[in-house]
Structure 1
Amino acid sequence: MNDILNQAIQIAKPNLSKGKLADYIPELTKSNPQNIGICIVDLEKNIYEAGDSNVKFTIQSVSKPIMLALALLEYDEEKIFSKVGKEPSGDPFNSYMKLEIVKPSKPYNPFINAGAIAIASIIKGENLQEKENKILDFFRKMACNPDISINDSVYKSEKETGHRNRAIGHILKNEGIIEGDVEETLDLYFKQCSIEVTVKDLALMGLCLAQNGINYNGERILDEKISKIVKAFMFTCGMYDESGEYAINVGIPSKSGVGGGIMASVPFKYGIGTYSPSLDCKGNSIGGLDMLKFISEKLNLSIL
């Protein structure tokens, strides 16, 4: 397995210069565009790592499946899907166009920004601090890592420049999707995106979903139904408006983030985490895409 991971990195490296960092979040431009790392965890608890696997980065949109899982623990499906739909949008992740033109209005799915903001709005808690503590505790349990925390510099950078997300939040409030305070909801959303992880953390969270809710330590975190719902969204909506092409080329339930991470979950086989902050025009990690395509073909991992 170590040889396969190192091969994947060598195949991906030449393409890193073709992408760019997520410069609309200024703090993310401090990343090294040549960093590339990968981790795979199997059902026997073997952990394989290669490349820049110890580099920390912010989770960004890879947080969205975990937040959806948490919301499904707190509410029934009817409540969740009164706020967000179940279909791919076909639009960029930060678009709000369909909120304006499709009536009745609600985000197409929980993985576009509008849908993730809607999910953040219903997380239970007396105040923002209680909600923040809750989501951190949940991410830590999923990844079996008690040291996961929020990168304060990235959080502040997102909050200061997140004008488009702020606009989405107010549209959602106007449409009755957000019931509470918009700024508190956005603050929680910016914080979830600023959670700092490594590829090992992503692989362990992917393994928890691959095992239908049982984490690396053998603790049941989610029931099977929630795990299956989350993986279904990962397969159909997880790679922004590149999800269909990715399903054909790689065929693994996955979720990407503009911090450069991708979490992949191969049912009953592996959890995989990749990191490479150089992004393509859709916002997906170029190195991550190349590595996952190679590994999927090499190990015959496509679920199709």
Structure 2
Amino acid sequence: MWRWRVCPVAVSRGYMPFCTTQEPHQANPSRTSQATHRPVTPLTLCSLLEMGFSETQAEEMHEGAMKSRGKHVPSVLTALLILGLNPSSILKIMQKCPEVYSLKGADLQQRINHLRKMGLVEGSLQRMISHYPKVMVLPIKRVNMVSRLLREKCLFTVQQVTDILRESPEVLEEDLAQLEYKFQYAYFRMGVRQAEMVKTKLFGLSLSELRCRHCFLERRGLYQTPDKKGQTLIANPPLKDVLCVSEETYLTQVAIATVEEFHVFHKLMAREQEEEGREDEYSSDEDEELGEDKYNDDDDGQHRRKHLWNTGYKKDRK
């Protein structure tokens, strides 16, 4: 025997029904109360209107759900509404990341709870999901891997890791080796410490953009790598003036250069990086053929160490 009942969803206008669910009719009331309610009717325009979507929004949401063939869209929408997102924000999330249609409500809720445990409180969590909805489809294991790298390899505090994830959630998809390289470049080559990296949202920039802006200043004699005591012969510009400004402001107030000069330099840097990539690939292939460690040969080792210092990252190989 099955009985039907209406599932309420809390929205700004109060409790409104959006879907029909069925649950087994059992003699034991305690087991009945623990039953998992699952939508068994497809998402309809009527149910979307009852959730608070406008007619236009409901039609677009319904069309997206049909294209994705998601079987758990009602439960996903429920989780997002309970999180405090309004229908307009939810529609934008679905437009940015259609993969959310294919999620299960329980999986989505599990990922939301995990982000909360990482320190992303209300307000920050909603902004993060709205700005970067892909965080909802990334496996929890991936989030933990990035968090562990930032804490253990880059020595950020737990709070600093939370700040990085909140301000630059794109790091969750970045290649781990490249992410560590970016940190090492800023730390050793530019002399920037963790607190300043977080404050200036360094991880929101690509590695190529970071290197280009820094090296352009360096080759113009306007930036110098600090020594072991953190001292330089010139006054380096603050990191916020290098990274947190528009290209126009950077060129006119920091680099004191023209747009043409910077763009030519950008092309030269891209060519240098391409050549470095080919050299690394060639060296790797050559070492495999010879069966030798590239760091054991004196001449090649000196050249290699110099090359790594020029790129800002002396990578440990274990």
Larger-Rg structure: 2
TM-score when normalising by structure 2: 0.24
Structure with more helix by fraction: 2
TM-score when normalising by structure 1: 0.25
